[in-house]
């Protein structure tokens, strides 16, 4: 799969994997265990935890819209400083969370962590697009999957550390583990200057997206907002998966099993989407993943009494991870070309986070008034079917350039 990659390309790919592992995996995905410990130690009410989460959504919107696109305009030295700065921002957030949780810095902690993480998909996809021109979707998917790998490692590690160390010391050890992976990533990514040339788009001519960059651009941008917004709303159900399972009679151990499947889906979905985008094209890959999410949600809605089908449904539903990360870059590249991606990727990522801000309280209202998640599932099915229709329309308006013959 990577046999055509040069030594430099492979080292950059390894570096981006480590960057995702250290920042996205250890500093972001471990928040679940860290926040649970904070709440237990300080007896915080749920309203304080909810406010903490809200600050994260605001930071994600601002980070994706304002900070992410900066990577396209910075010099080589500033790009390196930017990568390091985003990591330091996340580390500061964790320090605030561990040492100042009883102060207003508790909310700033989530803001800083989310601000740093919200830029990962943009800056890493930029680096890989500049370096790798064959199977680049697979490369981006592989790198982003390491966020899930870090989550699988860091969550049990956090619980272990907080069991043998005082909480604040455990935070410091967790940051140390993160640095072990992240610091080497800077040397691998910036071992040589990032190529500045515009990457080829499938053949020697400009892509169809670049040739027609102004044809229906506003309409296509609006459709992309919807295409990436619906999976982002679907992703909110991850916070309620255990509640859903236990509400319909399953044990807490089975709920934990479903959570493990979901983290496995986190890893595989990103790689699978990237691989499919290289093999069958961006739009077909998006539709296949959208269908998978529909199948998963349908099993939740219509056949919840069968444990095996709920497990399969969780795996299928987990394909939203690819649609909310790798797909944004790939769809922007397919729709607008490289120049358009520089302009629109941060905006599309930001709107996806805005959809989460709107959808999050709506889920609570739906459950409180109906006593189940069935209405939510029905809404998600409608939204995901709509994304398939919009993906087909967009694919017809922005056909991808043919792949170069090998």
Q: For residues 281 and 246, give the distance between their C-alpha atoms in angstroms, rounded to a whole number.
A: 39
Domains of the chain: 7-189 (1.20.1250.20), 208-397 (1.20.1250.20)
Tell me the pLDDT tens digit for each residue of 246-279. Answer: 888 998 889 888 988 998 999 999 999 999 999 9
CA pseudo-torsion sign 99, 102, 108, 113: positive
Q: For residues 379 and 68, give the distance between their C-alpha atoms in angstroms, rounded to a whole number.
A: 31
| pTM of structure | 0.86
Write down how long the chain is: 406
Contacts of 102 (CB under 8 A, 6+ apart): 42
Q: What is the pLDDT along the chain (406 residues), one digit of tens a residue?
A: 667 789 999 999 999 999 999 998 888 888 777 887 888 888 888 678 778 877 888 888 888 888 888 888 899 889 999 999 999 999 999 999 989 999 999 999 989 998 898 888 899 999 999 999 888 999 999 999 999 888 888 878 887 888 888 888 989 999 999 999 999 999 999 999 999 877 765 444 444 555 455 567 888 989 999 999 999 999 888 878 888 898 889 988 898 889 889 989 999 999 999 999 999 999 999 999 999 999 999 999 999 999 999 999 999 999 999 999 899 999 999 988 888 888 888 889 888 888 877 777 777 777 878 888 999 999 999 999 999 999 999 999 877 765 544 4
In the block, tokens 């490692």 appear at 153
**Helix residue ranges, H only, 208-319:** 208-211, 217-235, 241-247, 252-279, 282-302, 307-317
DSSP notation for 362-387: HHHHHHHHHSSSHHHHHHHHHHHHHH
Q: How many CA atoms lie within 13 A of 212 on its CB side?
A: 15
């Amino acid at each position: 799969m990577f046999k055509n990659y040069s030594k430099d390309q492979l080292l950059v790919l390894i570096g981006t994997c480590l960057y995702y592992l250290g920042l996205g995996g250890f500093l972001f995905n471990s928040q679940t265990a860290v926040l649970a410990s904070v709440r237990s130690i300080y007896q915080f009410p749920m309203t304080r935890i909810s406010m903490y989460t809200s600050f994260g959504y605001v930071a994600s919107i601002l980070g994706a819209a304002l900070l992410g696109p900066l990577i396209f305009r910075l010099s080589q030295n500033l790009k390196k400083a930017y990568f390091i700065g985003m990591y330091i921002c996340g580390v500061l957030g964790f320090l605030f969370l561990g040492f100042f949780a009883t102060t207003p810095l508790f909310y700033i902690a989530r803001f800083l962590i989310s601000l740093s993480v919200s830029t990962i998909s943009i800056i890493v996809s930029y680096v890989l697009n500049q370096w790798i021109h064959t199977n680049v979707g697979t490369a981006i998917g592989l790198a982003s999957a390491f966020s899930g790998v870090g989550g699988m490692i860091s969550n049990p590690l956090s619980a272990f550390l907080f069991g043998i160390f005082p909480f604040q010391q455990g935070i410091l050890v967790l940051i140390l583990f993160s640095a072990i992976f992240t610091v080497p990533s800077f040397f691998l990514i910036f071992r040589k200057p990032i190529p500045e040339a515009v990457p080829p788009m499938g053949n020697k001519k400009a892509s169809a997206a670049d040739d027609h960059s102004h044809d229906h651009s506003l309409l296509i941008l609006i459709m992309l907002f919807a295409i990436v917004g619906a999976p982002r709303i679907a992703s909110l159900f991850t916070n309620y998966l255990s509640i859903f399972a236990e509400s319909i009679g399953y044990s807490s151990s089975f709920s934990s099993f479903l959570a493990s499947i979901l983290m496995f889906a986190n890893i595989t979905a990103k790689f699978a989407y990237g691989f499919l985008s290289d093999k069958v094209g961006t739009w077909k890959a998006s539709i296949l993943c959208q269908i998978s999410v529909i199948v998963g949600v349908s099993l939740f809605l219509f056949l919840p009494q069968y444990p095996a089908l709920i497990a399969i449904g969780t795996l299928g539903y987990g394909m939203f991870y690819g649609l909310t990360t790798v797909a944004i870059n790939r769809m922007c590249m397919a729709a607008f070309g490289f120049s358009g991606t520089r302009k629109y990727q941060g905006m599309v990522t930001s709107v996806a986070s805005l959809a989460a801000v709107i959808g999050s309280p709506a889920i609570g209202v739906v459950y409180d008034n109906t006593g189940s998640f069935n209405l939510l599932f029905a809404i998600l099915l409608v939204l995901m079917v709509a994304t398939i229709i919009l993906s087909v329309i967009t694919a017809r308006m922005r056909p991808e350039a043919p792949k170069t013959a090998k």
